[in-house]
């Protein structure tokens, strides 16, 4: 669950010295942070992170059982969004090599021991501000994605409606019964199903078949695109054409039978 404000952010302090942990926790609590946890055992901290990783970590590098560099490497493997959860290293090692290694391992900032309360508050505030900006950007991206999905669904519904209306208009041009394109759609879908196509492909063929039949009936060119969701590909058009030809032959046979029945008997 995400924190509602910076003061509610989950903060973890990890150091093998209990006095150092208590000092930093106390500084943060006095500054108004309400969700600060301290750990003297880095393995216990790592176990907790599997279920509820903190928004910010303040960690010593020199610890006996497992050092800070190893903790950072394990966090990369277990925390999916580790890159967006800042780590501040608190250490007495002030040499350049240590800082470079910590930065390359995922640390975002440094504090030198003994810590200054003012510096702790300022640096923690800056890191959490960045963290919450990243969360807001993430939420904004998710909202945009939802809108795109909703708009895509609306366009798909509109496409289907257009195809159905075109098919309906074509029915009154293709044959007297007004059922030719519908039959082509049903038979094309049945054939696609018999060929083992997926349910989505079968449904797409059923919807596109009347459109293809109408285009064929008036001699218009059909644009194909195997990667498009709005244009049928050549394979599907061939299947629909076969069904349309069969249905057209059936209509012609029915018409010939009707004409034979209407012919007057020769006396």
Residue 179 — very low, low, confident or very high, per pLDDT cuts 50/70/90? low
Q: What is the mean pLDDT of residues 165-187?
A: 60
Residue 27 — very low, low, confident or very high, per pLDDT cuts 50/70/90? very high
- Which residues form the domain of 15? 7-115
Say yes or no to pLDDT of 90 above 70: yes
Asked if the structure places residue 128 within a domain, the reply is: no
Please check whether residues 187 and 233 belong to one and the same domain: yes
- Partner residues linked to 110 by β-bridges: 89
Residue 95 — very low, low, confident or very high, per pLDDT cuts 50/70/90? confident
Please check whether residues 108 and 181 belong to one and the same domain: no
Strand intervals (E) in the chain: 11-14, 36-39, 56-59, 87-91, 109-112
Predicted structure pTM score: 0.55
Domain closes at, from 100, 115, 130: 115
Q: pLDDT (tens digit, 9 = 90+) per residue, 182-227?
A: 777 777 778 777 777 788 777 777 777 766 666 655 555 555 554 4
Q: Which of 205, 42, 56, 66 lies closest to 132, judged by CA?
A: 56
Domain closes at, from 115, 144, 165: 115
Domain closes at, from 85, 115, 145: 115
Overall number of domains in the chain:
2
Q: Is 161 left (phi over 0), alpha (psi -120 to 50) or beta?
A: alpha
Asked if the structure places residue 24 within a domain, the reply is: yes
Asked if the structure places residue 200 within a domain, the reply is: yes
Asked if the structure places residue 251 within a domain, the reply is: yes
């Amino acid at each position: 669950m995400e924190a509602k404000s910076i003061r509610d952010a989950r903060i973890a302090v990890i150091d093998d010295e209990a006095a150092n942990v208590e000092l930093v926790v106390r500084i943060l609590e006095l500054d108004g942070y309400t969700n600060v946890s301290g750990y003297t055992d880095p393995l216990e901290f790592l176990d907790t992170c599997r279920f509820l990783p903190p928004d910010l970590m303040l960690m010593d590098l020199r610890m006996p059982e497992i050092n800070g560099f190893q903790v950072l490497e394990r966090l990369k493997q277990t925390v999916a969004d580790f890159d967006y959860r800042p780590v501040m290293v608190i250490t007495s090692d002030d040499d350049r090599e240590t800082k470079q290694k910590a930065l390359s391992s995922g640390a975002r900032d440094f504090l030198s021991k003994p810590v200054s309360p003012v510096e702790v508050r300022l640096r923690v505030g800056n890191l959490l501000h960045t963290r919450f900006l990243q969360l807001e950007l993430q939420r904004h991206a998710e909202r945009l994605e939802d809108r795109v999905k909703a708009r895509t669904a609306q366009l798909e519904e509109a496409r289907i409606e257009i195809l159905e209306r075109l098919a309906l208009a074509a029915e009154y041009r293709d044959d007297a019964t007004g059922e030719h394109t519908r039959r082509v759609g049903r038979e094309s879908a049945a054939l696609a199903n018999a060929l083992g196509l997926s349910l989505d492909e079968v449904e797409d063929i059923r919807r596109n078949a009347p459109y293809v039949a109408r285009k064929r009936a008036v001699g218009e060119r059909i644009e194909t695109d195997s990667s498009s969701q709005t244009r049928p590909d050549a394979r599907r058009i061939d299947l629909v054409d076969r069904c349309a030809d069969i249905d057209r032959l059936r209509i012609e046979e029915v018409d010939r039978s009707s004409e034979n029945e209407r012919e007057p008997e020769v006396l």
